[in-house]
Chain A
């Protein structure tokens, strides 16, 4: 039992950093949130965003609603879709490459230390440096010309980071529909769980989700509040002869231009997952592998059926860490394709653009959306970690 005096000293010791965090992290988060509820810089008819006496009024959640529904804010929605695909492929790529590298190093090869250093080394670079190097590599005289220079073949003409092509097209207006499908999918898994294992806890959750989904559909929540099906912009207010507003498709999809950026990002971070997996693999007792081998398991099978299941906590940590990095990504993309490329737009770049277009309220709203996304990844993780430690 620690004495009260010790506790008091400890409290005084952390007080300065608590104070600084309160101002420079939580205070600023609050200020950003506050700004996101105003029209600071949104409507120039109200005055300049830079005025010494700031012209901004409270507009509630208008900025957030506009981000989701305004026809002119399609760039934000593009950035969300880009972040989604970028996160999936970046995290997936890092886990896959990292696992393969770790498995290869785990074979007790010679010069293991050297290879480990080589694969981990890209992480030592700043993302801006990585971005610049890879941008050069993607130039027509770079990687694409290698087949020509080495073997005299036709030069490769793929546009790694500036293709305008889009695959897997879908309409943003259908996103609520997809979310409902996903909800139903989770629901059915939970029901299935209940039927197989007779777990009442899961059934409770299933009933809650079913209730919420049913309620939202019942009150037409998706179509009226969050994502109106028509991304309408009443142009008659600006131009008398404009056509009446109607449902407007807002086509999204996986931008092919992201492939080059994903490759660079995986190159940078795969060494990190490799190190994590390798540490995890070294923690798997040799007896387990031996037993599997004795039972007639192939070497591949040992990794797939024995080692990999043991690495689940490591993989989860890696996913969380890489996932929140990619949700916040800015520097790599800024260095590789600049800030005006709609094909590779991510929310972080929209926030930075506030210094060009003075739309500080909108940028604050985007920043808050980013924060919420990162929180959905981080908070459950921290929560389970803390609970485990307490147990």
Chain B
């Protein structure tokens, strides 16, 4: 017995020494690293996997995982803004790539240019051009995208379509044509939920009406009020096919997806976090138990949004943060995170390193990501700044209360102008 104990102790000692030696070998990073995000609950394991990876590489750094719960950062934003204004920035914070970062923090001179890092690591070659354009501001790159979600995805149940004898509508016109028949059958043609999901639907319909070029034209001022009036007119028709006047405002996006799965609604347009919900939470098989397609009229266009992290100016642990950013855009980091989060890597060369760990939906999304035309999402902070996005909901309310697409488009233009979001 004693022998075993001493053997055990020796082993323990040896392991400890190895561990110690390993720690000694590693770089001299120490101190703290505070990561600020809204990834709690379902999304927490993905972040924890990244932190575990970081701890392994830099054991002397104490990582402080500062999360503020609330989807899309509804509550985190208030805390972050208070801290930044108070001169107490976290070492790195989660923010949607694109205007949510540049329009708020980069123009305010609160972020450090990361171009040197992108050059050192060769990241310019592994990220799609359209993405790089969006995260670049006045020649500098300011954020490290950790994942990619797709906004313009249509979800449906193949059985429901079979029962109704329908094909998946390729265009908005086709959808509007079958809408009365679906309503006559007692089903909701397109299900929406709380207000932000209506904003989400708007952007996919606008993309379907305007195409990628017209969508980008909104933000340069080329599309203008005439194009937007078309969008709002079509959107009003599409809303006629939804449950907006019934109980939409009280549903969460998951409950809207549930309606499709339960066969009460035929279609749902939602970002591809719905795939994570359907596969992980409901245990369904993508492609078999549920179907997905690009939303009406947007085939070949990938409307993306991305969670990203940046390097705030005036932080105390700059070196630790640089190591964190480097890990996040490494192939290892991207796969560790995205397989758990249910999103795809921003790097086009990451998925092939871990093919088995992505499900059928994500593999198809990753293929599209590499070849499709990429446009930024409005509802999720990529295409327009927060000043614009905060007031955008008013245009929808004007449309719903007046039924006048022109008035909604005018309001859109007015908000655009106040927010300096649509060119000059």
Contact = CB atoms under 8 A, between A and B. Distances in A.
A238 B391 contact: no
Interface string A153-178: 00000010110100000000000000
Contacts of B385: 44
Given A242-B225, A357-B389, A48 B246 contact: no
Interface stretch (B26-34, B50-58, B105-113, B116-124): B105-113
A48 B104 CA distance: 6
Contact of B224 (A239, A339, A352): A239
Given A44-B385, A75-B394, A164-B249, 6 more contacts: A44-B388, A48-B105, A48-B108, A52-B109, A162-B248, A340-B194
A267 interface: no
A106 interface: no
Residue among B82, B85, B390 with most chain A CB within 10 A: B390
Nearest to A352: B78
B201 interface: no
Contacts of B194: 338, 340-341
A147 B29 CA distance: 65
B418 A42 contact: yes
Contacts of B417: 237-238
B250 A48 contact: no
- Top 9 A-B residue pairs of the complex, sorted by shortest distance between their CB atoms: A357-B390, A162-B249, A340-B195, A355-B78, A162-B250, A48-B108, A50-B108, A44-B420, A51-B108
Interface string B384-423: 0111111101100110110000100011011111111100
Given A44-B385, A44-B418, A239-B413, A355 B77 contact: yes
A50 B84 CA distance: 8
A242 B247 contact: no
Residue among B103, B249, B398 with most chain A CB within 10 A: B249
A388 interface: no
B418 A358 contact: no
Nearest to A42: B418
B226 interface: yes
Given A251-B401, A358-B104, A72 B195 contact: no
B74 interface: yes
A359 B78 contact: no
B22 interface: no
A138 interface: yes
Interface in A126-173: 135, 138-140, 159, 161-162, 164
Contacts of B420: 44-45
B196 interface: yes
Chain A interface SS verdict (over half)? loop
Contacts of A241: 225-226
A50 B397 contact: no
B419 A339 contact: no
B419 to A, nearest CB: 5
A343 interface: yes
Interface string A312-335: 000000000000000000000000
Interface residues of B, number: 52
A72 B414 contact: yes
Nearest to A250: B401
Chain B interface SS verdict (over half)? helix
Contacts of B390: 353, 356-359
Nearest to B245: A164
Interface residues of A, number: 47
B63 to A, nearest CB: 26
Contacts of B421: 44
Interface of A: 41-45, 47-52, 71-72, 74-75, 135, 138-140, 159, 161-162, 164, 233, 235, 237-239, 241-243, 251, 257, 337-343, 352-353, 355-359
A357 B414 contact: no
Given A50-B81, A251-B401, A342-B393, A162 B247 contact: yes
B400 A164 contact: yes
23 contacts: A43-B418, A44-B385, A44-B419, A50-B81, A51-B109, A71-B411, A72-B411, A72-B415, A74-B394, A75-B394, A161-B249, A233-B410, A237-B417, A238-B225, A238-B414, A243-B406, A251-B401, A257-B249, A338-B195, A355-B81, A355-B82, A357-B389, A357-B390
Contacts of A251: 401
Nearest to B103: A48
B389 A356 contact: yes
Given A161-B250, A355-B77, A235 B226 contact: no
Contact of B394 (A50, A72, A237, A343): A72
Nearest to B248: A162
A338 B71 CA distance: 12
Contacts of B250: 135, 138-139, 159, 161-162, 337
B224 A52 contact: no
A356 B127 CA distance: 29
A41 B390 CA distance: 12
A41 B401 CA distance: 27
A272 B110 CA distance: 49
Contacts of A135: 250
Contacts of A237: 417
A357 B386 contact: yes
Residue among A239, A242, A338 with most chain B CB within 10 A: A239
A44 B195 contact: no
B247 A140 contact: yes
Nearest to A46: B420
A339 B398 CA distance: 17
A358 B245 CA distance: 30
A311 B316 CA distance: 63
